[in-house]
A and B are shown apart, each in its own frame.
Chain A
Amino acid sequence: MRIQRKVVTLLLILICAILQGTLFKALSIGSISPNLLLILTISFGFMRGKKNGIWIGFCCGLLKDLLSDGLLGFYALVYLCIGYAAGCCCKLFYDEELRVPIILTAAGDLVYGGLVYGMQYLMRGRVQFYYYFGRIIIPEMIYTVLMTVLLYRLLFNINKRLTELEMKERDSIWLRK
């Protein structure tokens, strides 16, 4: 039962990573494409709690690290922290609420953009923060939030289905005993 959940989650991560580099590059607006892996991390972190947020964030980030060049582990760190933060809200709000993941994604993408800028651009002496803020961080945030509105329902249903399956199996084992 746990294995099933893990396999589905890993598949989702893989699908998001692949789509982000192919399909959503074709759908990019003004050469900005949404951050699907971040949506995945935040949604699942928010629905399942801190531990899951950390692990899913780590996997997403690591995959992104592996598919791009640069320091291995940087994106993993960023994503797992965001996943943990999203997990903190798990017990505070109902997960049917669409507004919470939207706000979380907006905040998460701002943090993500800021960190990528700070680590990979500022370190090379590109100091015009406001340009990058207006050109990349804000548009990416808006696009990502839009995608969250569309995708959260889907992820929510997948998660619900998985939890239901788990509950059923757990019950049946318990009854057998």
Chain B
Amino acid sequence: MKKKHDWNIKSKHILVVMILVCISLMLLTFAGKFPAAPVRKAASYAVVPFQNGINKVGTALSDMTSGFRNKKKLVEENKKLQSKVDELTAENSRLTQSISELDRLKKLYDLDKEYSEYDKVGAEVISKNSGNWFSTFTINKGSDDGIQKDCNVIAGSGLVGIVTEVGKNWATVRSIIDDTSNVGAMTMTTSDTCIVSGDMRLIDEGKLQFIHLKDQDDKIQEGEKIVTSAVSDKFLKGILIGYVSEIEEDPNNLTKTGTLTPAVDFEHLQEVLVIKELKQQKGDS
């Protein structure tokens, strides 16, 4: 009996019903009535262990292939590196001398709070956004390691992005090159504020866009450092974003726009550091 009843429902009806379900879901999440976060957490709870596992297999494989690299090459490389070490030692001693000067300058720019002062946790990128349209990724650390929503994520010397969602042992990060990302920033020397926004079209060139830069005295040159600004409510102050590569005046003659080269290599991102401190907390204390 039941089977017969099944056959009577036409596929058209199912289609209409499911479309209505989807649209109502969208409207509910848009209105904030539907608790999307717990459902997402449940789904990620099921998927993240697998992603972690596959990632481990991938790392093991790449380790193995690199192990097969022949000896000759390594010896050659070693020689090259040795000469590089000498070169760098010389350079290092030169740089040590200018550290005191740097300290002074940092104080001058009120940027003496270096990232090393923040409490950080290292994490691995285990999965990237499954589509081609957005630049978000998942890392293998979550609330267990003290990561919260809106935590800043850095790698090497520069800003990578911001945590948008947190689970027990995973977190989703939206990188600053994502098309929907906007970061309040400022220039290093003049402290002029601007907005750094990701743009799909510039990703291929490995660049970011900045807009609304007020620079009345034309002081900003190419190569100028752009750091996160003090007025941003989610990003901690003074994290390096990148270097100005092009700059031009807007038609309104008041502000400037241009592109900047990020300090982080987003194409080969594998390990990131998450700063546990939140901007909001810092303001409260």
Interface residues, chain A, with chain B CB atoms under 8 Å away: 14, 17-23, 25-26, 31-33, 35, 37, 49-51, 54-55, 58, 61, 63-64, 66-69, 71-74, 76-77, 80-81, 84, 87, 116-117, 120-121, 124, 126, 128, 131-132, 135-136, 140
Contacts and interface: CB of A to CB of B under 8 A. Distances in A.
B47 A18 contact: yes
A131 B201 CA distance: 8
A25 B127 contact: yes
B278 interface: no
Interface string B144-175: 00000000000000000000110000001010
B190 to A, nearest CB: 29
Contacts of A84: 11, 15
A29 B49 CA distance: 26
Given A73-B29, A121-B179, A50 B133 contact: no
Given A73-B22, A84-B11, A116-B133, 12 more contacts: A19-B54, A21-B129, A22-B55, A50-B11, A66-B44, A67-B44, A68-B130, A68-B131, A69-B165, A69-B172, A72-B39, A120-B133
A18 B130 CA distance: 8
A51 B15 CA distance: 8
19 contacts: A18-B54, A22-B51, A31-B267, A33-B130, A51-B11, A64-B131, A66-B40, A67-B43, A67-B47, A68-B131, A68-B134, A69-B40, A71-B26, A71-B30, A72-B26, A72-B28, A84-B15, A126-B200, A140-B132
B203 interface: yes
Contacts of A126: 179, 200
A58 B25 CA distance: 12
Given A63-B43, A71-B29, A72-B36, A77 B23 contact: yes
Contacts of A37: 130
B19 interface: yes
B25 A72 contact: yes
A120 B134 CA distance: 10
Contacts of A80: 15, 18-19, 22
Interface string B15-58: 10011011111101110001010011001101100110011001
Contact of A135 (B22, B47, B204, B267): B204
Nearest to A117: B133
Interface in B39-93: 39-40, 43-44, 46-47, 50-51, 54-55, 58
Contacts of B138: 21
A22 B133 contact: no
A10 B30 CA distance: 28
Given A25-B128, A132-B200, A135-B204, A69 B164 contact: yes
Contacts of B30: 71
B51 A18 contact: yes
Given A77-B22, A84-B15, A32 B132 contact: yes
Contacts of B39: 66, 72
A25 B25 CA distance: 29
A135 B205 CA distance: 13
Contacts of A124: 179-180
A136 B132 contact: yes
B43 to A, nearest CB: 4
State the 9 A-B residue pairs at the shortest beta-carbon distance, nearest first: A73-B25, A50-B11, A66-B43, A77-B22, A21-B127, A73-B26, A72-B29, A20-B130, A73-B22
B67 to A, nearest CB: 19
A31 B25 contact: no
A128 B201 contact: yes
A136 B133 contact: yes
Given A21-B51, A21-B138, A54-B15, A77 B130 contact: no
Interface in B111-147: 126-134, 136, 138
Nearest to B26: A73
Contacts of A54: 11, 14-15, 18
